[in-house]
Structure 1
Amino acid sequence: MERDTQPCFMSDHEGFCGSIKNSTRDFVVIELDVQGRPVNRTDRPEEPTKLASTEVRQCSQKASLGEVTAGMASMVQNGDGVLSQEGFDLNVILGSSVNEALEEFASKTVACSEEQKEDTEMTLGTFPDKQQRASVHRAVRHNYPFLMTVTHQTEIRVKVDRDFRELSQLVSEEEAEDFFRFIDAKVPGSAFTFLPDDSKEHRTSVHHFVSRRFGKLVETKSFAEQDKTAITVRLREKGNQGKKSRKRTASDSEEQVETYTGFTLKKENLETLEAISYMAAVLGVLPSDFSYAGIKDKRAITYQSMVVKKISTERLLEKTSEFERRGMQLSNIHPVSEPLRLGRLQGNHFDLVIRDLKPHGKCSSSDLEVLVKEAVENVKARGFVNYYGPQRFGNSQTVQADQVGLALLKEDTVAAVRLFLSPEEGEDLQNKAKRHFLHTGNAKESLLLMPAYKARERLMLRALHRYGSGQEGCGRAWLSLPHGMRVFYLHAYCSRLWNEAASYRLNTLPHRPVQGDLVCTRPQRDNSATEESDTAQVHVVTPAEEKDNVFSLEQVVLPMPGNSVKYPENVLGKWYQDRLAQDGLSACRFRITSLKLNVPGCYRPLLAYPYDITYSLHVKEEPHVMGLSPSHSTASLTLSFDLDSSCYATVCLREIMKCEP
């Protein structure tokens, strides 16, 4: 099958020629957080609010550590700074309709048989924000201790808690409810005492249950009270939790308090991953200890949010001068409670300069103003095809990232290593090192040649020297790279396929939704839906909906290949099957267990739009130099606009200019 890689355009204006990135200052990118605020703003982040120690026992796991994030919708404080009961109000947290459904579900589970309880569950909906999910878990458990909540990606489901049922057969349901509320509060050093019990055998059963289920969190003792004995359960202090066993369960890991520091990174002429590698080396941590919402351009000045694990604000502040010497500035340094998640942003703001503007064809330079206005207004109204830009595939001219990703998806780690270490033209040190490895297979000698700043290549060569360059050694070499770097190559392949699918869709089918197309049913700018629409929000267009024009082209989404997506139910779906088969991926599961890689896939809108776009044309008259050259004028265009996350300014410019910028 012939690959359809020619870009499609949504407007038929003429466009113009010009050049971008003449200097890094001509291309400024500012990340917009989930509230749409620029991350380089100067106001400080909201400080965490302390809870009164006398009331902290009523709070959730977050509150038990002494802090909640100010402004969190479901955590309401009174005038004394104490978490109020509204923090557990499910009407506030879930909304009245979902809360009513939960009440009905809870009533039914109480009434149904034990066999029915095993299979009974309901969904509470999806909650993209981690703190929002924590509020839901906390509030449901507080109001219904006999239920348990389970998170699947961003969806929360509720079902009967087997542990509660087991304990309620040993003690009264009221006691079991109080005990589970005590456990969920997770206040270090706090205690809970069961009612006195004169049966040693019965007390032993309770001891065994508590120890087996919560042993790493609590300690139990029996105390004599007059003629009867009662069991007291005490939550371990933080330093003592888990000392009995080094093995931790998922629930225990939630108890560990990790240090996270957030900051805004300004970088110039640096790749995001290159900047991270340098900062990790200076701070003495791993590159994987850094998290970020998105990767930014190299040839630009960029601002983005980052979080580093294991490093305090004081330690980070100490190293800022070293980072500045490398073209990086850190600001807005502050403690945070968790790492950043990839895609956790609304989008990016761009301030661009296009220089040396000229018409494409026979138009004169005096027509530039008309050409520019027509181009910008067309794209503002009609948008552009939401292709992935060249940055997604790396800067290499010989082997691009999607080729490496294809080799990894085929689980051919040896070929993937050789592609990764393929040299470019030139005799600089990194290319000499790569060339030496491909010719000799000697990783040790190649490592000595590789420049210190090429962190990924050095990690790879170090592992190859240690484990060899066979299939197993190459697998270990890939595992030596941080997860974000490994999965980048798989995403690059899927992105290339998406670009081809978009061109095929627009060249083959009408420019309107047709039967079998996939459409997203939520608003375009709802929490940056650009690359995160889940299957529950994707709908297959029916014949009747096509006939009645129920949906618009801007609602059409195309799947990024993965193991959790569905494909269009028309010729485009068949195209995906054939295209994957062409690359030998007919049976691909998009999961590489040996490399700890998983690609669930997602849905990406076919079209994207620039928001809040402004522009200004500048014409400068160059003076005539006697006897050398006639006078002439040069034109430049300044553009400012916002794009949703994972949209590319270079692709938007290509639609505006009708050429590669």
Structure 2
Amino acid sequence: MSGQAHYNMRGTASHSRSIGITKRATPLAFAWTGEQRVRFSDFQVNEIRKDGSIVHLRNIGLNDGPKQPSQEKSDQPPAEVQPKTEAPNNAESVGPAQEEQKTEIPLSDVTILTSLAGEKFAQELVQLFHGEQGADGEKITSVTSGPLDDKSKRGQIHVEVRRIFKSGLETSTDDSGAIIATKVALSRKGKKRNRGARGQGDDKPTGEYLHFTLYKDNRDTMDAVNQVARVLRTKPQSIGYAGTKDRRASTAQRCSVRHTRARALAGTNGKLWGIATGDYEYRDDPIHLGQLLGNEFVITLKNCNVVGESTEQPVSERLETMKAQVQSALDHMATHGWINYFGHQRFGTHQIGTHQIGKLILEDKWEEAVMALLTYDPEIAAKAADGEVPTEAMRRDEYARHHACMLFKTGKDIERAAKTIPGRFTAEASILRHLTRLGNGSMKDFPGAVTHITRGLRSMYLHAYQSHVWNHVASRRWELYGERVVKGDLVIAEGEAIPLVSGEDQDGDDIVNPVEEGDDDAVRARLLTEEEASSGRYTIHDVVLPSPGYDVIYPDNEIGAFYEEFMGREDNGGLDPHKMRRLRREFSLPGRYRKLMNRFLAKPSIEFRLYTDNMEQMHPTDLDVIKAGRRGDNSNGNGKRRRDDAEDEGASKKAKVDGDANEQVGEDAEKGEDNGSAETIDATPAAETTKIAAIVRFQLGSSAYATVTLRELMGDMPDEEKYEAEAAT
């Protein structure tokens, strides 16, 4: 392997079985393999808003995007030179020559303004921007709209005016609700005057929250949010987002931050590797967990081949074999759906899974839970102790984690352990800080150590155990009854005012039953009678299964008994699904309902393509599109291919973009490296195309797993543990 973190989608079945993923609902003529995330940009995730629109990063910073024609060199003859005049004694004024350099406003933008604020105000804004004279012969200095009662519409107008006129106009709202627009004052050099505080510029917030698009490469959502908050000097809790996105991916999602100006947020671009922000908009309400419909995935699988088929067979024959059969399987999935398993990433990537930690907590085995969280690899710990650490930051942190856990568990240097553990390992750092805070007096306070872990992480462990049970139950349900609806199955009770998905918890999973006790609005399920099950009124897509909890009911058939039998096994904690309350309320689980079957939100697609180079970018990321727009071409989107040579050496190269604040996106931005524009090569490679790639596009609801979807399509399950191990090497 060339240093790229990737794994084969065939994987091993043993790990899948250990987390309950054993059944499939889609008939396949054959299983096939493909390497996922040869580059992290092979896995792209874009959030889907509640209204069904897909979030893309369109502009980075305040003034991003393709240059205007007036800024480019032109073959047109030069405009007539204006006579030189004296500028008035005002440092904020500009000369007539500057005023005559008009930027044409597209008719489409004028139409948008007209629809929002009326034709008169739209035309006046254009005249104000161009510095034209009014009917009285005087230069227009400000324009005012009629009163507008709709706050959301006012917010849209503020945003559109800023976008269309490139922040050349300022807008504010008076007491009557009317919008007042004035031209941004310029210095003699034609630069905008900065009236605001450091980093805040001259934009005036028109809402309490600044909404923005967060684009990230190879970073998880919580880490990206923490980094943005650090640069803004605000608390991470002030940044809201609808759901978490994959780490090893290129992703885009909407976020909100309270009491922050757009210029301050734009200033974070260029200071954080792998992160870019843009598309700013002031709103009165924040973005919160669960405020999304789902996600769109565009996943490139490379080195595809049919299992058991020789790669010596001509590539054209292999391609035709795959095309017809795989498309048939995808069509079946679109019609019939598949089992809605929790994916591998739900259970962690370390030697001891998150569900195992959750089981120990539910058993009140505090010391065992702490020691499980501090599990380490002796070989890596020994290398770290000898100073043999990688240069790459994330791998260096991994080595430090193993070293710190070794120092603590062996008792070699307990105090040093707490100082050595990197802060990004939140659970381990919280535990070590607590156990070493008061010396020997707190060394045995294992319950206190667990409760000092952040609430979100504690919930993640408990929910992982619930998910582990749910997966095994779902497999048993399919094994016994398949797609038949039977007596004792559960469906959501009719007349529920709250939809099945009513939000997300801290680890991004759907919440059906609220975690607060005594909530009369909790979504309820009911049992089907034999008559209802056989009536044809209900299908397998109506059936739900509960995760274990005190506020759910269980199926009244063999599946209900299976909950008791499975959870009661010693290796599953010897727990009782009907007794999920604990003395510590935070560890009491109310339970939730989850649909047995999953479906696409929109029609999926798959494209097979022949290629030669594994570093080829098959589908452009949002960042690629922005960069191509700046160059004025359609590279990476129309027959040209991108190769990042540094990634070929495993260097996780940054992507750098021009514009406001020299924004940089990529893992090595802090090193000051510049890869310039990604190299483009001809669409027809010199070497023979001997490899097959599949580009799969599909949309899933929140709390659905793309890896589970791919496993259903391909006939096997990716080995996430193998993938993470390769990523670490």
Interval of TM-score (by shorter of Structure 1 and Structure 2) = 0.5 to 0.7
Q: Which residue of 2 aligns with 1:640?
A: 697
Greater RCO (Cα-Cα under 8 Å, separation 6 or more): 2
Q: Does 2:212 align with 1:263?
A: yes
Against the structure 1 CA distance between its residues 498 and 356, is the aligned structure 2 distance closer, same or farther, given a 3 Å change threshold?
Answer: same
Task: Please give the residue correspondences for 1:415-426 in structure 2 after superposition, counting only pairs within 5 Å.
Answer: 415-424=368-377, 426=380
Q: Does 2:603 align with 1:612?
A: yes
Q: Which residue of 2 aligns with 1:408?
A: 361
Structure 1 window deviating more from structure 2 (495-504 vs 599-608): it is 599-608
Question: Given residue 696 of structure 2, which amino acid in structure 1 is its aligned partner?
Answer: L
Q: Does 2:513 align with 1:540?
A: no
Do 1:409 and 1:588's aligned partners in 2 also have CA atoms closer than 8 Å? no
Against the structure 1 CA distance between its residues 477 and 320, is the aligned structure 2 distance closer, same or farther, given a 3 Å change threshold?
Answer: farther
Q: Does 2:250 align with 1:274?
A: no
Task: Please give the residue correspondences for 1:206-285 in structure 2 after superposition, counting only pairs within 5 Å.
Answer: 260-285=209-234
Question: Given residue 31 of structure 1, which amino acid in structure 2 is its aligned partner?
Answer: E
SS in 1 for 2:54: coil
SS in 1 for 2:603: strand
Task: Give the drift of 1:426.
Answer: 2.7
Task: Give the drift of 1:263.
Answer: 3.0
Against the structure 1 CA distance between its residues 559 and 616, is the aligned structure 2 distance closer, same or farther, given a 3 Å change threshold?
Answer: same
Question: Given residue 634 of structure 1, which amino acid in structure 2 is its aligned partner?
Answer: K
Question: Given residue 437 of structure 1, which amino acid in structure 2 is its aligned partner?
Answer: F
Task: Give the drift of 1:15.
Answer: 3.2
SS in 2 for 1:656: helix
Match of 1:342 among 276, 279, 289: 289
Structure 1 window deviating more from structure 2 (489-498 vs 646-655): it is 489-498
Structure 1 window deviating more from structure 2 (521-530 vs 501-510): it is 521-530
Aligned partners of 2:220, 2:695: CA distance in 1, in Å? 24
Against the structure 1 CA distance between its residues 586 and 278, is the aligned structure 2 distance closer, same or farther, given a 3 Å change threshold?
Answer: same
Against the structure 1 CA distance between its residues 332 and 601, is the aligned structure 2 distance closer, same or farther, given a 3 Å change threshold?
Answer: farther
Cα offsets for 1:147-192 (capped at 9, x unmatched): xxxxxxxxxxxxxxxxxxxxxxxxxxxxxxxxxxxxxxxxxxxxxx
Q: Which residue of 2 aligns with 1:296?
A: 245
Aligned partners of 1:301, 1:4: CA distance in 2, in Å? 27
Aligned partners of 1:544, 1:422: CA distance in 2, in Å? 53
Aligned partners of 2:435, 2:209: CA distance in 1, in Å? 32
CA RMSD of aligned residues (A): 3.8
Against the structure 1 CA distance between its residues 411 and 334, is the aligned structure 2 distance closer, same or farther, given a 3 Å change threshold?
Answer: farther
Q: Does 2:461 align with 1:515?
A: no
Structure 1 window deviating more from structure 2 (503-512 vs 425-434): it is 425-434
Task: Give the drift of 1:586.
Answer: 1.9
Question: Given residue 276 of structure 1, which amino acid in structure 2 is its aligned partner?
Answer: V
Q: Which residue of 1 aligns with 2:470?
A: 498
Cα offsets for 1:359-394 (capped at 9, x unmatched): 123586141222222222222222111111111112
Q: Which residue of 1 aligns with 2:133?
A: none
Task: Give the drift of 1:472.
Answer: 7.6
Q: Does 2:30 align with 1:24?
A: no
Q: Which residue of 2 aligns with 1:446?
A: 417
Question: Given residue 428 of structure 2, which amino acid in structure 1 is its aligned partner?
Answer: E
Task: Give the drift of 1:26.
Answer: 0.6
Task: Give the drift of 1:413.
Answer: 3.1
Task: Give the drift of 1:38.
Answer: 1.9
Task: Give the drift of 1:446.
Answer: 0.9
SS in 1 for 2:544: strand
Question: Given residue 499 of structure 1, which amino acid in structure 2 is its aligned partner?
Answer: N
Against the structure 1 CA distance between its residues 527 and 565, is the aligned structure 2 distance closer, same or farther, given a 3 Å change threshold?
Answer: closer
Do 1:531 and 1:605's aligned partners in 2 also have CA atoms closer than 8 Å? no
SS in 2 for 1:461: helix
Do 1:615 and 1:640's aligned partners in 2 also have CA atoms closer than 8 Å? yes
Question: Given residue 466 of structure 2, which amino acid in structure 1 is its aligned partner?
Answer: C
Do 2:55 and 2:252's aligned partners in 1 also have CA atoms closer than 8 Å? yes
Q: Does 2:322 align with 1:368?
A: yes
Structure 2: which 5+ residue stretches go unaligned?
1-16, 61-111, 117-145, 152-206, 382-398, 503-508, 514-521, 614-686, 719-729
Against the structure 1 CA distance between its residues 42 and 573, is the aligned structure 2 distance closer, same or farther, given a 3 Å change threshold?
Answer: same
Against the structure 1 CA distance between its residues 394 and 631, is the aligned structure 2 distance closer, same or farther, given a 3 Å change threshold?
Answer: same
Cα offsets for 1:54-86 (capped at 9, x unmatched): xxxxxxxxxxxxxxxxxxxxxxxxx843489xx
Against the structure 1 CA distance between its residues 275 and 42, is the aligned structure 2 distance closer, same or farther, given a 3 Å change threshold?
Answer: closer
Aligned partners of 2:461, 2:433: CA distance in 1, in Å? 20
Match of 1:436 among 407, 415, 421: 407
Q: Which residue of 2 aligns with 1:90?
A: none
Task: Please give the residue correspondences for 1:21-60 in structure 2 after superposition, counting only pairs within 5 Å.
Answer: 21-40=37-56, 42=58
Question: Given residue 482 of structure 1, which amino acid in structure 2 is its aligned partner?
Answer: T
Q: Which residue of 2 aligns with 1:221?
A: none
Against the structure 1 CA distance between its residues 403 and 379, is the aligned structure 2 distance closer, same or farther, given a 3 Å change threshold?
Answer: same
Task: Give the drift of 1:22.
Answer: 0.9
Structure 1 window deviating more from structure 2 (547-556 vs 531-540): it is 531-540
Superposition TM-score, scaled by structure 1 size: 0.61
Q: Which residue of 2 aligns with 1:81?
A: 148
Against the structure 1 CA distance between its residues 311 and 560, is the aligned structure 2 distance closer, same or farther, given a 3 Å change threshold?
Answer: farther
Match of 1:572 among 551, 556, 559: 559
Aligned partners of 1:411, 1:286: CA distance in 2, in Å? 33
Task: Give the drift of 1:597.
Answer: 4.8
Q: Which residue of 2 aligns with 1:651?
A: 708
SS in 2 for 1:426: helix
Task: Give the drift of 1:309.
Answer: 5.2
Do 2:500 and 2:512's aligned partners in 1 also have CA atoms closer than 8 Å? no
SS in 1 for 2:537: coil
Q: Does 2:379 align with 1:322?
A: no
Task: Give the drift of 1:318.
Answer: 3.5
Aligned partners of 2:369, 2:328: CA distance in 1, in Å? 46
Against the structure 1 CA distance between its residues 408 and 443, is the aligned structure 2 distance closer, same or farther, given a 3 Å change threshold?
Answer: farther
Do 1:26 and 1:352's aligned partners in 2 also have CA atoms closer than 8 Å? yes
Structure 1: which 5+ residue stretches go unaligned?
50-78, 85-257, 623-629
Do 1:296 and 1:302's aligned partners in 2 also have CA atoms closer than 8 Å? yes
Q: Which residue of 2 aligns with 1:489?
A: 461
Task: Give the drift of 1:613.
Answer: 0.7
Aligned partners of 2:238, 2:525: CA distance in 1, in Å? 34
Q: Does 2:23 align with 1:8?
A: yes
Superposition TM-score, scaled by structure 2 size: 0.55
Do 2:57 and 2:213's aligned partners in 1 also have CA atoms closer than 8 Å? no
Identify the structure with the greater helix proportion. Answer: 1
Task: Give the drift of 1:633.
Answer: 2.1
Question: Given residue 81 of structure 1, which amino acid in structure 2 is its aligned partner?
Answer: L
Cα offsets for 1:594-624 (capped at 9, x unmatched): 47455332211111112221111112479xx
Q: Which residue of 1 aligns with 2:576?
A: 586
Aligned partners of 1:283, 1:591: CA distance in 2, in Å? 41
Question: Given residue 302 of structure 1, which amino acid in structure 2 is its aligned partner?
Answer: T
Task: Give the drift of 1:320.
Answer: 3.5
Aligned partners of 1:264, 1:592: CA distance in 2, in Å? 40
Aligned partners of 1:337, 1:600: CA distance in 2, in Å? 33
Question: Given residue 615 of structure 1, which amino acid in structure 2 is its aligned partner?
Answer: I
Match of 2:590 among 597, 600, 603: 600
Do 2:218 and 2:250's aligned partners in 1 also have CA atoms closer than 8 Å? yes
